[in-house]
Structure 1
Amino acid sequence: MESSLFLQLKDKVPTGLQLALKKKLENTSNDKIEAISMLQLKDPIIGLILSILLGGLGIDRFYQGKILLGILKLITFGGLGIWAIIDWFLIMPSIKKDNFEKIEHFL
């Protein structure tokens, strides 16, 4: 069960932390694994798509759950476009890190 859960989570956590996650899942009880499988994790690909299409309006940050940054990005029109472009490169690693922290909270 741990290996199938790991395969589901693999693309939603940072590459550098995947091995650590796999080891932690191997030593985790079935109750915790079941709880982790029920988590609502954000998809980094959707975050990137939102960033490219609607990043100037802060929609990518709202999706990530960072409401204050989303509002700030919205009222500055994505930092006049500069912040929006920078987020094209930062949003996926940021969402993956948030997902890993959420999983680690249950471990």
Structure 2
Amino acid sequence: MFDPKELAKTLGDLQEKFQSAQESNKNITLNAKSGGGLVSVSANGEGEIIDITIDDSLLEDKESLQILLMSALNDVLKSVESNRKNMAMQMLGNLGDFPLKV
């Protein structure tokens, strides 16, 4: 039987877990490198770029720097998206006992 109180409790618990996941995402650091480590980019789990490191040897070669920087940025943003999907799947996995008995 459908129990609205149980549904409200489950949704409240889910909202708390979501907020907790968002907070923990801010503390996660994801990294990507390109050019064998000549360019390194770090982002938090929210997708905010928090650090960029560029080897001095690239400062004279603007085109290579641009290519390597784009590559590292794209890689770290893919990591952020993958992290978000994994966290969402973990949260959805907890819905196995969702109170929707018919």
Q: What is the TM-score of this pair, normalised by structure 2? A: 0.38
Q: Pick the structure with greater CA Rg.
A: 2
Q: What is the TM-score of this pair, normalised by structure 1? A: 0.37
Structure with more of its chain in strand, by fraction: 2
